[in-house]
Amino acid sequence: MSFWYYKKEKGGKTSLTAVDIPVLLIMSILGFFVALVGPRIFGSPSQLVIDAFHIIAVGFSLLFISKVSMFMKGIWVSWGYSRMPKLFKLFYMLGYILIGIGLFGFLVVYKTGQL
């Protein structure tokens, strides 16, 4: 499977670019995640809540680290990661991803009615 988009170069010339999406790799990662988290949901949901809390805490700490890099540059207000170095852009995106995964864990436990 691939994703196609038009890319405009500096001279104004457009070209069609394809990005391959490794569907089997994504399915394998999701299956591994479900195999790890599935027994915790039905066995001890309180442990899943603790895990989700830890994941959210790590996500917020990554966001904090990336924002501190901006504060050290003297930039006190910034929206997004456009002016961050590459490593801190990665921390910023990974922080939001981990916060989303942790919130998803909280929602799973809440919707199953285990708490």
Are 36 and 92 in the same domain?
no
Domains held by the chain: number: 2
Are 10 and 56 in the same domain?
no
Cα separation, 44 vs 50, in Å, equals: 10
Structural domain of residue 4, as residue ranges?
Answer: 1-42
The pLDDT-based confidence of 59 (bands split at 50, 70, 90) is very high
pLDDT digits (tens, 9 = 90+) for 34-57: 787 777 767 777 777 888 899 999
Are 50 and 63 in the same domain?
yes
**Looking at residue 115, what is its pLDDT?**
62
Cα separation, 98 vs 103, in Å, equals: 9
Q: What is the largest CA-CA distance in the chain?
A: 60
Are 35 and 58 in the same domain?
no
Structural tokens at position 5: 């988009």
pLDDT digits (tens, 9 = 90+) for 65-105: 888 888 887 877 778 777 778 888 888 889 999 999 899 88
Are 59 and 101 in the same domain?
yes
Q: What is the DSSP-derived secondary structure letter of residue 11?
A: T
Q: Which helix (H) or strand (E) is 20 found in, with range? A: strand 14-20
Are 62 and 23 in the same domain?
no
Residues 41, 45, 51, 53, Cα dihedral to 10°:
120
Are 31 and 51 in the same domain?
no
Are 50 and 89 in the same domain?
yes
Are 51 and 36 in the same domain?
no
Q: What is the DSSP-derived secondary structure letter of residue 1?
A: -
Top-confidence residue, 80 or 59: 59
Are 56 and 29 in the same domain?
no
Residue tagged 């899943």 (tokens):
48
Please give the model's pTM, rounded to 2 decimal places.
0.64
**Separation in Å, CA 99 to CA 24, 31, 90:** 25, 20, 14
Are 17 and 48 in the same domain?
no
Are 74 and 107 in the same domain?
yes
